[in-house]
Structure 1
Amino acid sequence: MFANKKHFTSAIVGALIALSIIALVLSLVRIEDVTLPPTVKYGMVFDAGSSHTSLFVYEWDSDKENDTGVVSQNLSCDVQGQGISSYANDPPKAGDSLRECLDKAMKVVPAGKQRDVPAYLGATAGMRLLREQNSSAADQVLAEVTKTMQEYPMAFKGAQILTGEEEGAYGWITINYLLESFTKYSPKAHAWVRPEAANIFGALDLGGASTQISFMPENSVMNWNETSKFTLYGYSYNIYTHSYLCYGQNEMLKRLAKELIVESSSSTQVDHPCYPKDYNETISLSSFRTSPCTNQSDPRLILGDRNVTLEGRGNASGCLAAIKKLFNFSACGQRQDCTFDSVYQPPVRGQFIAFSAFYYNFKFLNLTKGQSLATVRETIEHFCARSWENVQNPERLPKYCANANYILTLLLDAYKFNETSWNNIFFQMKAGSADVGWTLGYMLNLTNMIPAEPPARVKGHIPSLWAAAITFIILTLALGLAALLLLLWV
């Protein structure tokens, strides 16, 4: 009897030891070991620019929503036709123009998720100009756009006109988010870390009606009217951002044509130094009345309905000189913290991403591969000297000489980049798989996907509830066996 009791006790003790070892192992299981499948979420943003509208559909894992919101671009769709501001005289067409891209979006977003998709429309400089010229027409265009978007099964959040500074700031957020300048995951540390501050990029955006510059100055005294403040991932950022309305490339071309006509001795035929030799374009003076940028009264020019023919001369130096006259550089005097028109700007600092029309113009000229400023100037000069028969294309080619010289003037004379800092400008339209622009930053901000607080533990994993439960059961069994052993001895 005693021997049996001894063997039974030994068995109980062995079981207790085994159960204790199992419980110890389970208690050491990392919380990442048990993973829940993530739920994919979607968001969409219309970029309603001055010359065209584009739709972007983004997706991300819901388990990252309040940490880094690792977002990828699912769809990019260009809306047919001009920007929505061009429908001021027929607002319903503004809404109808969006349908084709909305239909495409509905095909990439699963039906069961569509009603939860936050959808936004942000209008930029084209609508800012229309609001200046005819606020009721701008309101009607936005109302028709809203009406159309509300017909689709999605969580429509509104259509609004962004300020120029918002456009610039959201572009800055997009760039630094995509390039992981704010925070990035370190597999070695199993944590989100903040890269060096030197990795923060500036943003250069050139549209049809406005242009924006945004960057983080170096400990300079800021003009707070030109500053945007952000707290992202627990760190504060004060960025300088300024938007120049009427300095987008399309409005610049209109202003240039008007200035050339004003200064010409002929009332019907005017030399255009930026257009290719043998290229002619006939415009009506009444076209200047369609934009606030060229509709200002000018005693040198009576705006009638007469036609004027612009005759190309292919003169690169003459083109550059004519473009510089569009800027009031003398208003800054000798101040280095000033661009033009007495606008304050601290010295440019760090690396910049130049996108939108900056990129598209230089891409056409094959100047997006880090060429030196001397090479850029030489390439532009050679292109401007070509005759029309050598560059024929009815769409954009007549404009590239003017656009390229305008970019040089804006970057060098206005923003004050130089031979050295020029090498810090990167012309690109994508970062990873996503387009660079303001739309992603806009959505990230409105969906609160970039928190003010530092990222917590990486989500996507849950605590090992099963391990904890099993450990609890084993410990309970161990205690039960110990109690049984105690009773047997009594």
Structure 2
Amino acid sequence: MMGKLHVKPLLFAIALVTVAGMTIIALILSLVKHQTVDPPYLTQYGMVFDAGSTHTSLFLYQWSGNKENNTGVVSQKLTCDVKGDGISSYVTNPPGAGQSLRECLDVALAAVPDSQRRTTPVYLGATAGMRLLSLQNQTQADIILAEVAKTLQSYPFDFRGARIISGMEEGAYGWITINYLLEGFIKYTFDGKWIHPKAGRILGAMDLGGASTQISFTPKDPVKDPNSAIDLQLYGFRYELYTHSYLCYGKDQALKRIQAHLQKTTGSLTTVIHPCYHSGYNLTVALGDLYDSPCVDKPVPFDPTLKVTFLGSGDSQQCWSLMNSLVNLSNCALFPDCGFNGVYQPPVSGEFFAFSAYFYTFDFLGLAPRTPLPQVLSTVDSFCSKSWDTLLSQYPKVKEKYLRDYCASAQYIMTILLEGYKFNATWDQIYFVKQVADNDIGWTLGYMLNLTNLIPSERPLVVTGVQHSQWAAEIFFIVFALFLSLLILIVLCIWSPDSQT
């Protein structure tokens, strides 16, 4: 016999099942760990060619797709030295300037994943060597840059340009590099956060290249000359930087100017005594090579085929006096805020890193990274007084063209730092360095770091701690199970058995 319909038990069962079901769902949702996480950012890459006056180098950088206050956290992945001289030397063979880059480009090609190559920007920045060439022959400089660009565009990278950077840019980017590597701008904490140091250690930067030299630092007082000031915005903070680049005061050009000065003042076309060359050393130079730079005034009349021989005397004091005449201090006698050659410079402040030729010269003499001033002066004087034969026996593996110039380079460096920049009382604030945290010091990292502000930050979609597909399957199973249980209970309530016959 069919069961009777029980309305009140039915309503009670439905209510009971509904409340129980909602309670179970709430309990499950509260127990499941549901949080948002960001997947790892894709590593991005960037390349900068440093086309200097004497050589070219490639620097490959990498950084995570996320950024801190719109500035990428960049690190050096690899470097590659291009064989041969700087691109400015390819005046008679412009295509050769581009071809010289291929070996290092192939190295970078192997280092960057195939999927990342098309989005990897590549830049070439030419410095003082090309600045000088552009002064001599702008058309020729443009042709060389065009050939370089043609080669870079032939590779599967995102070519962003090949250009001559200004001296102020070179100085500013070198300053950025140093302070970035020393965590002066941003610092990684133990709890996994990037913070701006409340009392960041901001250092000055001094770069000595082949054709120019730069000094950059944040002075105690505002910069008085707007032409020497750069405002930088990094990691959400503003910095006012003093920077100046002395074109024609790089190491190689300075030593060439010394040769020309000696030749013109003596008036000799045969032999000239050179106090910065070691006794027993001699060097013969064609006048065409001696006066081939816009940094050197050509004599009139001028016969480029004639030759002059420089005879070393190893006179350290005369060499020092010669360098003082090269660094023009007379224009700075009337006002205190002056470096040399009549250039405005506020008083140096804080610690400084000196790199490039500064480091290579002092490292060879055993004076890096820091040595008391009296010991530096005695070491330079002792080295310059050695005979050429003594040096050859002491340094048999050093190339002669480098060995002959260490004395002159050291004397020139001391003149710039003491007489020009006036580090007499703060000498112990200078560190002669090449690398920091396995990264080379120079302008290229600062350049790449600054350019990351123009590269869009990668912002992937936020996903839940449990995958969407897994979460949906679990919810569906729970709802289906509750629905099935509810249906069974309803059926049991409606068709409850009637024991009466």
What's the TM-score once normalised by structure 2's chain length? 0.85
Structure 1 residues 220 and 303 mapped into 2: Cα distance closer, same or farther (>3 Å)? Answer: farther
Residue matched to 2:499 = none
Residue identity matched to 2:92: N
Residue matched to 1:260 = 262
- 3-state SS of 1:127 partner: helix
Structure 2 CA distance, aligned partners of 1:427 and 1:22? 64
Residue matched to 1:401 = 407
Structure 1 residues 180 and 267 mapped into 2: Cα distance closer, same or farther (>3 Å)? Answer: same
Question: Are the aligned partners of 2:223 and 2:242 in contact in 1 as well (CA < 8 Å)?
Answer: no
**1:158-177 paired onto structure 2 within 5 Å:** 158-177=161-180
Structure 2 CA distance, aligned partners of 1:459 and 1:434? 28
Structure 1 CA distance, aligned partners of 2:350 and 2:28? 55
Structure 2 CA distance, aligned partners of 1:198 and 1:465? 37
Residue identity matched to 2:403: L
Residue matched to 2:438 = 433
Q: Deviation of residue 111 (structure 1)? A: 2.1
- 3-state SS of 2:386 partner: coil
**1:175-190 paired onto structure 2 within 5 Å:** 175-188=178-191
The correspondence for 1:97, drawn from 77, 97, 100, is: 100
Q: Deviation of residue 239 (structure 1)? A: 0.1
Structure 2 CA distance, aligned partners of 1:389 and 1:14? 100
Q: Mean Cα displacement is larger for which, 65-74 or 250-259? A: 65-74
> Is 1:83 the counterpart of 2:67 in the alignment?
no
Structure 2 CA distance, aligned partners of 1:192 and 1:302? 62
**1:301-340 paired onto structure 2 within 5 Å:** 302=302, 304-340=304-340
**1:66-215 paired onto structure 2 within 5 Å:** 67-188=70-191, 191-215=193-217
Q: Deviation of residue 448 (structure 1)? A: 1.5
> Is 1:444 the counterpart of 2:449 in the alignment?
yes
Structure 2 CA distance, aligned partners of 1:198 and 1:69? 18
Structure 2 CA distance, aligned partners of 1:416 and 1:472? 74
**1:237-256 paired onto structure 2 within 5 Å:** 237-256=239-258
The correspondence for 1:286, drawn from 285, 288, 295, is: 288
Structure 1 CA distance, aligned partners of 2:68 and 2:56? 27
Q: Deviation of residue 434 (structure 1)? A: 1.6
Structure 1 residues 26 and 205 mapped into 2: Cα distance closer, same or farther (>3 Å)? Answer: farther
Gaps of 5+ in 1: none
Q: Deviation of residue 316 (structure 1)? A: 1.3
Residue matched to 1:383 = 383
- 3-state SS of 1:173 partner: helix
What's the TM-score once normalised by structure 1's chain length? 0.87
- 3-state SS of 2:295 partner: coil
Residue identity matched to 1:442: Y
> Is 1:413 the counterpart of 2:419 in the alignment?
yes
Residue identity matched to 1:466: V
Q: Sequence identity of aligned pairs in percent?
A: 48
Residue matched to 2:427 = 422
Structure 1 CA distance, aligned partners of 2:388 and 2:99? 38
Q: Mean Cα displacement is larger for which, 266-275 or 90-99? A: 266-275
Structure 1 CA distance, aligned partners of 2:347 and 2:27? 65
Residue identity matched to 1:95: G
Question: Are the aligned partners of 1:359 and 1:368 in contact in 2 as well (CA < 8 Å)?
Answer: yes
Structure 1 CA distance, aligned partners of 2:12 and 2:366? 89
Structure 1 residues 26 and 422 mapped into 2: Cα distance closer, same or farther (>3 Å)? Answer: farther
Residue matched to 1:226 = 228
- 1:419-476 alpha-carbon deviations (Å, 9 max, x no partner): 3x2222111111212211111111222232699xxx9xx9899564538995998799
Residue identity matched to 1:377: L
Structure 1 residues 473 and 366 mapped into 2: Cα distance closer, same or farther (>3 Å)? Answer: same
Structure 2 CA distance, aligned partners of 1:12 and 1:427? 78
Q: Deviation of residue 220 (structure 1)? A: 3.2
Structure 1 residues 219 and 474 mapped into 2: Cα distance closer, same or farther (>3 Å)? Answer: farther
- 3-state SS of 1:114 partner: helix
What is the Cα-based RMSD across aligned positions, in Å? 3.5
> Is 1:49 the counterpart of 2:49 in the alignment?
no
Question: Are the aligned partners of 2:186 and 2:197 in contact in 1 as well (CA < 8 Å)?
Answer: yes
Structure 1 residues 383 and 6 mapped into 2: Cα distance closer, same or farther (>3 Å)? Answer: farther
- 1:384-413 alpha-carbon deviations (Å, 9 max, x no partner): 111111212423000000101111111111
Question: Are the aligned partners of 2:185 and 2:200 in contact in 1 as well (CA < 8 Å)?
Answer: no
Larger Rg: 2
Q: Mean Cα displacement is larger for which, 214-223 or 129-138? A: 214-223
Residue identity matched to 1:360: Y
Question: Are the aligned partners of 1:226 and 1:242 in contact in 2 as well (CA < 8 Å)?
Answer: yes
Question: Are the aligned partners of 1:124 and 1:167 in contact in 2 as well (CA < 8 Å)?
Answer: yes
- 1:150-172 alpha-carbon deviations (Å, 9 max, x no partner): 11111111100001001111111
> Is 1:346 the counterpart of 2:351 in the alignment?
no
Gaps of 5+ in 2: 1-5, 393-398, 494-501
Structure 1 CA distance, aligned partners of 2:444 and 2:436? 14
The number of equivalent residue pairs is 477
